Amino acid sequence: MTARADLAPKTRLLVMDILQSLGMDVSKWADMKGGATRAASNPKYCYNWSFLQPGEFVVACLWYESLKQRSGELYYEINRGKWIKPRTEPGTGSSNKRANDFDQHLWLAYSEALPLRVIFVDGPQSDGTKPSKVNARRLDDTAWAITEYDLATGRCVMVRGTAPLPVKISAEDLELSGFEGTERSRFVIHRRREGAMRRAKISEALSKTGKLVCEVPKCGFDFEARYGSLGKGYAQVHHLTPLHKAPPEGRKIKLSDLAIVCANCHAMIHAGGECRELARLIR
C-alpha cells in the first residue's frame, strides 16, 4: 500500500520532460526565441496546470500539500469556485485561462472516461499577492481516475489507482459544459429560474397538436408514441440561441426562442459544448 509520504516530490523535474516520457508530442515547445535550448521554459506551455492527449489521457498538475488519504485510499478533492476568479477581478486573465483549461480537461477526463496522470508539485502556493513557486515536481507512476464531477457546483474528486468508468451525461450537463468559470454558476441560476418557460413551451406544443414531437428536421421522435403512457407529456426543451451569447444581465426568453426536442437530439446538439443548428443536425 502506497503511503501519502511516498508520493512527495523530491526533485524538480521539468514538465516538458515528464510529458515526453508519457509519449506526448512536445515539439511545439521549441517554437520560441532560443529554440530547443529554452523549450522547457516556453511560457505558452510550462505554466499550464493541465495537458490533454485527445482520446487517451489527461495530465493534471496537483499540489502535493492537498493530497488526502483515508482507509488506504489516496484521493484529491477540489472545487472550481476556489480557483477561478470573476472576470471583473483585475489581473486574472492568464490565471483564469489556465484554470478554465484545467477545468475543461478534468471534465473531459470524467465525461470521456479517460485516465488521469498526476504531476505532484511542491512549494509555496500563491496567497494572492505573489505567484506560486514550484520547488519540486514528480510524476506519479500510477494512473488516477475522476470519480465525481459536479458541473453545477464545481466539485471534483480524483482517486489514485482507480480505473475510469463510463458515465451517463445528460443534455443539460452537456449544455452546461459549454460555459467557463463563473459564467457556469450564473447559468445554473438562470436555468433554475427559467423552469416556468420550459413548462409553458411544452404546454403550448400540446395545445397546438396534442402531442410532443421532436422539432429537429428528419427526427420527429414522440415519447408517448414510443413508450405509451410512460412517455405522455414528456419532452426536452432546447434554446435555439446559445445562452452563453446572452449579455451578463441576461435577456428575456420568448417561447419562439425554444424548441421541443428528444433526448438524443438534445445531447447531439450540445455534444462537446456546442450549440448546433437544428436544421443541420441530421444529414
- Provide the pLDDT confidence category of residue 224 given band limits of 50, 70 and 90: very high
- Please check the confidence at residue 180 and state whether its pLDDT lies above 50: yes
Q: Contact 145/156 with Cβ under 8 angstroms? A: no
Q: Which domain holds residue 234?
A: 171-280
63 found inside a domain: yes
Q: Which three cell numbers stand for residue 94?
A: 492568464
| Domain C-terminal end among 160, 186, 203 | 160
Q: Is residue 62 part of a domain?
A: yes
Q: Which among 96-105, 107-116, 136-145, 187-196 has the top mean pLDDT?
A: 136-145
Tell me the pLDDT of the chain averaged across its residues.
84
Residue 200 confidence (pLDDT)? 87
Got the DSSP string for 111-165?
HTT--EEEEEEESPPP-SSS----SEEEE-SS-EEEEEE-TTT-EEEEEET----
Angle (CA) 16-20-26 rounded to 5° is 65
Report the alpha-carbon distance of residue 209 to residue 202 in Å, rounded: 11
Using one digit for the tens of pLDDT, what is the confidence trace for 9-62? 999 999 999 999 999 999 999 998 888 889 999 999 999 999 999 889 999 999
Count: domains in the chain? 2
Kindly tell me if the per-residue pLDDT of 273 is higher than 60.
yes
Q: Are residues 244 and 140 in the same domain?
A: no
Q: What is the Rg, in whole angstroms, of the alpha carbon atoms belonging to the chain?
A: 22
Residues belonging to the chain: 283
Query: What confidence score (pLDDT) does residue 175 get?
Result: 62
- 92 pLDDT more than 80: no
Cα(204)–Cα(85) distance, integer angstroms: 40
> Higher confidence at residue 273 or residue 211?
211
Judgement on whether residues 100 and 225 belong to the same structural domain of the protein = no
Give a yes or no: residue 165 inside a domain: no
Determine, yes or no, domain membership for 166.
no
- 142 with 230, same domain? no
Q: Position of cell 477581478?
A: 89
Residue 66 counted as domain residue: yes
Question: Looking at 106, 130, 160, which one is the last position of a domain?
Answer: 160
